[in-house]
Structure 1
């Protein structure tokens, strides 16, 4: 594999981002450009699916992912790159899957050739759903690009494998968002860009998230996008928002736009799952 540049330039708060106004967050959003591959002809591929939560992608969300796969007993893969393959996170994933009729398995990213005998595509493309862990989004993106996992995830998306996760596992699918991946302060991180616009997880759980997200969108440093409370999430087909869901009463999602140089926040009321 050829060496790749895997840390995007201009990822600090001072970096300016082009502003796109999305008039209605429940309508299709324009697909962003991507360096990973050309868009596949929609007539020759499955429907692309992404299910995210602001935090807490546990049994109810994994159960919904299983339903969206359309399989009687889907294979659900856990990809804990952002958590440095945390053993506790892996145990929690298996515990969340235990009540469900799914086949859970894990793909670590910190591997060795002597023990990892299947290539990334052999493992990831064998799944019906892929749950991405929370953790350090910046490190996740760097490792995925260095290993070529980002390219395989794009193939999985094109094949209709349901992608998802919470925190770093929700942020990673958008063009950009706010992250705690760097020292001292929240900052901007550039991600895969499967979904256009920006994202903020943990909207109700971490005090700095909401004001920073509104500030960055209001002053044009970040594109408009979606924010999710912990236990609340969004389901996209292609780049169209299809469902707003919640595993906890009171948890909501939001669309944050820029209107006349100021951030506006629209509540997206969820259905309970």
Structure 2
């Protein structure tokens, strides 16, 4: 099974503390799996941790989170070399790709060296649901705001561009994100930018925003557009997803 059309779930969430595990998958990850159409068997989820250097301790945490959720998780490592002989075949046999946060600048560079950018585009077109958090959200857009280069936030504008917008993550918890997004949209560095509070995700069918969804109450999504030489922000009320049993 696969999603009926190219689907992306771009988020500022998806993880929570587990009961018997350090990390558990929250509603946004479960929603990405639901959108994949994987029913009647264990969903296949590919975990990509390039943005944190394929940290083995976090791969172990994701593996445990998947076990508790009832998913079959396959890690894709690129350090020190790809851990699969057939990377494209491995990606294309998944239901969902979940990309961890971290350095989006490093992620993009390493993906391009290994041709993973092209493979992920083919997977998206084939109906594999692409999803992720933070850097794992920004990567699908034209760019966004990042701390990849240091503690002072800077723009990244060379992301994969599957979605023709900018992306703003952690909009309510990192005080520098909102003013920088507004400035970058106002001066044309970023196109119309779609932003998420922590715990919110954006669902795209093809390149169109289908809806905003949330795993936490009191959270929002936002569209920031350019009007003349200023940025205008529109709030979007997300649909609350069912909670995942603890």
| TM-score, length-scaled by structure 1 | 0.79
Taking the TM superposition and a 5 Å limit, the aligned residue runs for 1:189-200 are: 189=156, 190-200=158-168
For the aligned residue pairs, the C-alpha RMSD in angstroms reads 1.7
2:5 is aligned with 1:47? yes
For 1:143 and 1:77, the matched residues in 2 are separated by 17
Q: Is the 8 A contact 2:11 2:200 kept in 1?
A: yes
2:212 is aligned with 1:254? no
Aligned to 2:173: 205
2:65 is aligned with 1:96? yes
SS in 1 for 2:10: strand
Match of 1:66 among 33, 38, 41: 33
Shift of 1:144: 0.3
Deviations 1:172-226 (A, max 9, x none): 0001111111024211112000000101111111111111111111222221110
Taking the TM superposition and a 5 Å limit, the aligned residue runs for 1:8-19 are: none
Match of 2:210 among 242, 256, 270: 242
Taking the TM superposition and a 5 Å limit, the aligned residue runs for 1:62-141 are: 62-72=29-39, 73-112=42-81, 116-141=83-108
Shift of 1:125: 1.2
Q: Is the 8 A contact 2:76 2:84 kept in 1?
A: no
Q: Is the 8 A contact 2:49 2:76 kept in 1?
A: yes
Q: Is the 8 A contact 2:222 2:234 kept in 1?
A: yes
SS in 1 for 2:9: strand
Cα distance change on mapping 1:117 and 1:70 into 2, 3 Å: closer
Tell me the matched-pair count.
Answer: 227
Q: Is the 8 A contact 1:56 1:230 kept in 2?
A: no
Cα distance change on mapping 1:264 and 1:91 into 2, 3 Å: same
For 1:255 and 1:117, the matched residues in 2 are separated by 39
Structure with the larger RCO, 1 or 2 (CA within 8 Å, 6+ apart): 1
Cα distance change on mapping 1:123 and 1:144 into 2, 3 Å: same
Structure 2 unaligned regions, length at least 5: 16-24, 242-246
Displaced runs of 4 or more, over 3 A: 55-58
Aligned to 1:226: 194
SS in 2 for 1:251: coil
2:118 is aligned with 1:151? yes
Shift of 1:92: 3.2
For 2:224 and 2:129, the matched residues in 1 are separated by 25
Shift of 1:91: 3.0
Aligned to 2:21: none
Shift of 1:74: 1.6
Cα distance change on mapping 1:203 and 1:119 into 2, 3 Å: same
For 1:112 and 1:215, the matched residues in 2 are separated by 39
SS in 1 for 2:69: coil
